[in-house]
Chain A
């Protein structure tokens, strides 16, 4: 049981001539909340998507809970059942209500019965403060509400690890707080999370660690205070300073 929850070894990914990930190695312990930061195009989304294999890495190995989950002979659907993902632009199922967005996976993937799935969906909607919106369609929800449904949909599958790809970047500033506070609660409850975000307030308060990615490599990694206050690399310092000016170090 001393295995880390997630271990990524020597991950490489190219698109044609463009090398996006050049040898990524890291581990997440259970309960870690890790911020993935770095400039646009540095490969953050690609790395996140390689972890649940929405993007297939060219080489490298991924272990989840001690099991190899990448490469030949492994089942991507099985991996994704254990890893939840939250998208920048929500990607809620447009033809389904908030509750149905959650029950679909529970019924088709987890094989739950209708009533049980419904009950579980309501619990998770309640958890993100949206029990009263169960019957609303995505188009009837605000951005912040959509993203909370997105989080509930992923959580309802009972994942071991949650991936967040800029969950608040598509939101109006006044709606960011309702999403980050749900994420903070989740962190407090001990969920293991890998989060791409520019919300430095969330990073300072909720993250156990932070990695800085540039040109497909992890250039620096450590506790957030260390990266903010004593970065070893000039690139890290420069980027974090800029991002903090834009997105604030103060939390809401």
Chain B
């Protein structure tokens, strides 16, 4: 019956009932959370950086990969597809372990984590872009070619701009996933939100405030998610153009 818990979850042992009864019936200890607001703010910055760098890396991988999956000749398309399938089949925690311990891409846990998150996001973003590209009618490519543009010019100036607009809903989703999955960087000791929360209740011997800290960082994740989703929606409207069928 005894389950061995990782350090981050151990203080919550005793289960929801214990924690919740203390939280709701006794006095929740928000004072400790508040007095560590600077550390939580720093951690928020680290989480945002991890997310941002990983998403950008994922975009740099995913957009060309998505284009290649639709337009590249087989010698390029097949390897790209294969790598994508493999990366999507491996859990993110395992990818992170490969990056840091097996391939040792960097001695910096932060950089190793962005490689892992970025690669995985690239594998998913490629599918978002592939789908968006395929939803652009074939006539767009033909029209571009018919005025003498090369295939690459047609992709860059006609297909990709239209696909990006069609990718926004999928991209919002991917953004949320990467943001939340930055928390796995805790296993390398990166002081992002979850790691910092853990430090705060373990190292200072304040395991009693674990639930408050976890709730506080959950709120931060929530606010970040809602804000970025709104931001992307706004960007979609701003760059959006009226579209109609058969135009």
* Given known A-B contacts A93-B140, A95-B241, A137-B241, A109 and B247 have beta carbons under 8 A apart: no
Q: Considering the complex, give the chain A residue whose CB is closest to the CB of B144.
A: A93
B14 at the interface (CB under 8 A from A): no
B161→A95 contact, CB < 8 A: yes
A80→B147 contact, CB < 8 A: yes
Q: Which of A94, A105, A157 is in CB contact (< 8 Å) with B241? A: A94
Q: Which of B164-179 contact A (CB under 8 A)?
A: 165
The stretch of A2-10, A21-29, A84-92 that contacts the partner chain:
A84-92
A236 at the interface (CB under 8 A from B): no
A52 at the interface (CB under 8 A from B): yes
Q: Considering the complex, give the chain A residue whose CB is closest to the CB of B163.
A: A95
B143 at the interface (CB under 8 A from A): yes
B147→A154 contact, CB < 8 A: yes
B244 at the interface (CB under 8 A from A): yes
B134 to chain A, nearest CB (A): 15
B148→A77 contact, CB < 8 A: yes
Q: Which of A51-110 contact B (CB under 8 A)?
A: 52, 54, 77-78, 80-81, 84-85, 87, 89-96, 104-105, 108-109
B237 to chain A, nearest CB (A): 14
* Given known A-B contacts A93-B158, A94-B140, A140-B242, A78 and B148 have beta carbons under 8 A apart: yes
- In the assembled complex, the Cα of A113 lies from the Cα of B149 at a distance in Å of 16
Q: Which of B139, B153, B158 is in CB contact (< 8 Å) with A87? A: B139
B162→A105 contact, CB < 8 A: no
- In the assembled complex, the Cα of A193 lies from the Cα of B177 at a distance in Å of 55
* Given known A-B contacts A108-B157, A139-B242, A139-B244, A91 and B142 have beta carbons under 8 A apart: yes
Q: Which of B143, B148, B149, B241 is in CB contact (< 8 Å) with A91? A: B143
In the complex, chain A residues whose CB is within 8 Å of the CB of B247: 90, 92, 94, 137-139, 141, 146
In the complex, chain B residues whose CB is within 8 Å of the CB of A104: 144, 147, 149, 157-158
A89→B149 contact, CB < 8 A: no
A35 to chain B, nearest CB (A): 20
B244 to chain A, nearest CB (A): 3
Question: Chain B, 201-221, contact with A by CB distance < 8 Å: what is the 0/1 string?
Answer: 000000000000000000000
A105→B145 contact, CB < 8 A: no
Q: Which of B149, B161, B165, B241 is in CB contact (< 8 Å) with A108? A: B149
Q: Considering the complex, give the chain A residue whose CB is closest to the CB of B239.
A: A95
A105→B244 contact, CB < 8 A: no
Question: Chain B, 123-145, contact with A by CB distance < 8 Å: what is the 0/1 string?
Answer: 00000000000000101101111
B146→A85 contact, CB < 8 A: yes
In the complex, chain B residues whose CB is within 8 Å of the CB of A80: 145-148
B35 at the interface (CB under 8 A from A): no
Q: Which of A135-171 contact B (CB under 8 A)?
A: 137-141, 146, 153-154, 157, 170
In the complex, chain A residues whose CB is within 8 Å of the CB of B161: 95
* Given known A-B contacts A105-B149, A157-B147, A91 and B244 have beta carbons under 8 A apart: no
- In the assembled complex, the Cα of A170 lies from the Cα of B139 at a distance in Å of 14
Q: Considering the complex, give the chain B residue whose CB is closest to the CB of A170.
A: B246
In the complex, chain B residues whose CB is within 8 Å of the CB of A108: 149, 153, 157
A46 to chain B, nearest CB (A): 14
B108 at the interface (CB under 8 A from A): no
* Given known A-B contacts A95-B161, A95-B162, A104-B157, A109 and B244 have beta carbons under 8 A apart: no
In the complex, chain A residues whose CB is within 8 Å of the CB of B157: 104, 108
* Given known A-B contacts A80-B146, A109-B149, A89 and B140 have beta carbons under 8 A apart: no
**Best-buried of B148, B150, B165, B243 by chain A (most CB within 10 Å):** B148
Interface residues of chain A, those whose CB is within 8 Å of chain B, are 52, 54, 77-78, 80-81, 84-85, 87, 89-96, 104-105, 108-109, 137-141, 146, 153-154, 157, 170
29 residue pairs from A and B, CB less than 8 Å apart: A52-B146, A54-B142, A54-B146, A77-B149, A78-B148, A81-B148, A87-B143, A89-B139, A91-B140, A91-B142, A93-B143, A93-B144, A94-B162, A94-B241, A95-B161, A95-B165, A95-B241, A96-B241, A104-B144, A105-B148, A108-B153, A109-B153, A137-B242, A137-B243, A139-B241, A139-B242, A139-B243, A141-B247, A153-B143
- Given A93-B144, A96-B241, A137-B241, 14 more contacts at CB 8 Å? A54-B142, A77-B149, A87-B142, A90-B246, A92-B247, A93-B158, A94-B241, A95-B165, A104-B149, A105-B147, A109-B153, A146-B247, A154-B146, A170-B246
